[in-house]
A and B are shown apart, each in its own frame.
Chain A
Amino acid sequence: MTYRLAVVSAGIGEPSSTRLLAERLAQATGQALGGQAEIHVVALRDLAHEVANAVLTGFPAGALREAVDTVVGADALIAVTPIFNASYSGLFKSFFDVLEPDSLAGKPVLIGATGGTPRHSLALEHALRPLFAYLRAVVVPTAVYAAAEDWGGQLTDRIGLAGGELANLVAGTPKPVRQDPYENVVPFEQLLAGNG
């Protein structure tokens, strides 16, 4: 069976180290799943305008709607943000503000972040992990932080470790049963009756 991995990158540079980390994490997870993974990358930078509109209107539209469906429908999520001011970026947070609160419940998630210095590595534990805990996602124990000087060496080991944890979690998690929102509609008579 093939697992669908959604990869959300909030990197804003071109090229982006955040996106690079996100893709490395996805590859590691895919390898740990024996190559039975489809990887779908959502680059929030390209959706910034739609994300902002959705924050204002409350409804994701267009390409953002597809991105939301990709994330919500995936078997697992890899979410990576640059760290600004010791926390996730505003773009990253805005995307998760737009998702329906229950849409990530029970979803296996791997969190990662990039930063200029190693000083902010705990932002993963203090900002990202509580966010996904609130959303009732299941976050793997190993989070991956990459500072500018970390590329290569131990970072590769940690990416492998985290990817392995996510793969184990995904393989052991039953496929989510996607409910058709139109399957159980409230009958019109009942809606009208409520208006007395």
Chain B
Amino acid sequence: MSTVLTLSGSPSPDSRTSVLLRHTQEWLVDQEHEVLTLHVRDLPTSALLVANTEHPAIRHALGLVRRADGLIVASPVYRAAYSGLVKAFLDLLPDGALAGKVVAPLATGGTQGHLVAMDYSLRPMLSAMGADNLVPGCFVLDRLIQLAGEGGAMDSSALAAVHVALSQFGAALGARHRLPVVA
């Protein structure tokens, strides 16, 4: 069992990113991982955008990242890149904060063309932050996620793809536990 933080960079509580993360969290719980959740939109906005890391809520959020063995970073694709909101939070992390953690990017977007936004913006940014155990993650088209109904729903093919990505994430978490600790 590992501790996994799911990080949402969507500005809206009723978003496709939320539906995707709800399914992700269910999968993680099924696999008996401890799940921590963080919605960047719930953080105090001014403190977030001017990088005030002394604010208690921001310190708490940074503590969640420290505690986690793995991170799921989920963002809607805006202007062919990750949301400004998710970047604002990641900017607050100290150097090396992602080192040794398993990190999986998840993204939702309106067109298949935005698939590359993951590879051209989200992954390189996480990589530049020192994420040295970055697994492929998943991009899900907006139209495969339905917002209607309680908690929304995902198309079965999209859900299967997300489960494949999560299995890779889970396998990397498992391998992490078997690695000798480097002093």
Say whether chain A's binding surface is mostly helix, strand, loop, or mixed: helix
Closest to A46 in B: B50
Q: How far is the CA of A109 from the CA of B124 in the complex (A)?
A: 24
A12 CB-CB contact with B under 8 Å: yes
Q: How far is the CA of A91 from the CA of B78 in the complex (A)?
A: 14
Known: A90-B87, A131-B79. A85 touches B129 (CB 8 A): yes
Q: Contact check, A91 vs B50: say whether CB atoms are below 8 A apart.
A: yes
Q: How far is the CA of A86 from the CA of B81 in the complex (A)?
A: 14
Q: How far is the CA of A101 from the CA of B78 in the complex (A)?
A: 10
The segment out of B40-48, B135-143, B168-176 that lies at the interface is B40-48
Chain A residues near B85 (CB, 8 Å)?
A: 55, 90, 94, 97
A31 CB-CB contact with B under 8 Å: no
A87 CB-CB contact with B under 8 Å: yes
A-B contact count (CB 8 A): 97
Known: A84-B91, A90-B90, A94-B88. A131 touches B80 (CB 8 A): yes
Q: Contact check, B84 vs A95: say whether CB atoms are below 8 A apart.
A: yes
B179 CB-CB contact with A under 8 Å: no
Interface size in chain B (residues, C-beta < 8 A): 29
Interface size in chain A (residues, C-beta < 8 A): 30
Q: How far is the CA of A127 from the CA of B122 in the complex (A)?
A: 11
Chain A residues near B84 (CB, 8 Å)?
A: 55, 90-97
Which A141-168 residues have a C-beta within 8 angstroms of B? none
Chain A residues near B88 (CB, 8 Å)?
A: 89-91, 93-94
Q: Contact check, B83 vs A97: say whether CB atoms are below 8 A apart.
A: yes
Closest to B87 in A: A90
Q: Contact check, A90 vs B91: say whether CB atoms are below 8 A apart.
A: yes
B158 CB-CB contact with A under 8 Å: no
Chain B residues near A94 (CB, 8 Å)?
A: 49, 83-85, 87-88
Known: A56-B11, A56-B41, A134-B80. A90 touches B125 (CB 8 A): no
Which B108-145 residues have a C-beta within 8 angstroms of A? 120-121, 124-125, 128-129
Chain B min CB distance to A7 (Å): 19
Which A88-136 residues have a C-beta within 8 angstroms of B? 88-97, 101, 126-127, 130-131, 134-135
Q: Contact check, A48 vs B89: say whether CB atoms are below 8 A apart.
A: no
Chain A residues near B64 (CB, 8 Å)?
A: none
Closest to A126 in B: B124
Q: Contact check, A127 vs B121: say whether CB atoms are below 8 A apart.
A: yes
Q: Contact check, B91 vs A53: say whether CB atoms are below 8 A apart.
A: no
B38 CB-CB contact with A under 8 Å: no
Q: Contact check, A87 vs B83: say whether CB atoms are below 8 A apart.
A: no
Chain A residues near B78 (CB, 8 Å)?
A: 93, 97
Closest to B47 in A: A48
B51 CB-CB contact with A under 8 Å: yes
Q: What is A's interface to B at a CB cutoff of 8 Å?
A: 12, 45, 48-49, 51-53, 55-56, 84-97, 101, 126-127, 130-131, 134-135
